[in-house]
Amino acid sequence: MANSSSYYLQGQLIAHIFRTASFTKPTVLAVALFTTLQNAAGTAGVEVSTSSTGYARQTVDPLDANWAAIVSNDGTTSNVAAINFGTATGNWGTVVGWGLYDATSGGNLLMCDTLSASKTINTGDSFQIPANDLTVQFS
């Protein structure tokens, strides 16, 4: 799976590697769920509503304990533990994709991708991304 890195992240990495700017590693990595997937510009997507739904972005901070060692032959990493979004207290709609941000609300989109299978989340349902299922690879 090749994720779509955002224009923001692409620009930061180019400025860091090829220019004189420094890219500061995010201190927070927050996984968001989308009913309409974001694009690389970080626009056009619809994140699950936080209003009376019980939804919130989940953090998987940039630590060795949270992300698998990089696979050298394809440059991927994945979440070590399941990412649990809890039980919906209101309908979330049909979740079609995820995004990785540098903040628990707002912030900069770093990358996004579709889920392998969309899932409709209604009141009382829960959503979880199993360990090793959020695979990250730059494209």
pLDDT of residue 1: 42
Is the predicted pLDDT of residue 87 greater than 70, yes or no?
yes
Q: Which H or E run contains 16?
A: helix 7-18
In angstroms, rounded to a whole number, what is the distance separating the alpha carbons of residues 114 and 100? Answer: 12
C-alpha dist (Å) from residue 24 to 28, 45, 81, 110, 129: 12, 26, 25, 13, 27
- Phi then psi for 83, rounded to 5 degrees? -105, 110
For the chain, the domains span: 4-136
**Can you tell me the mean pLDDT for 99-103?**
96
**Can you tell me the mean pLDDT for 81-95?**
97
In angstroms, rounded to a whole number, what is the distance separating the alpha carbons of residues 47 and 61? Answer: 20
Strands (E), 37-139: 46-47, 58-59, 77-78, 83-87, 93-101, 109-121, 126-129, 135-136
Q: Which residues contact 107 (CB under 8 A, 6 or more apart)?
A: 28, 30, 101
Is the predicted pLDDT of residue 7 greater than 60, yes or no?
yes
**Can you tell me the mean pLDDT for 99-114?**
94
pLDDT over 70, % of the chain: 98
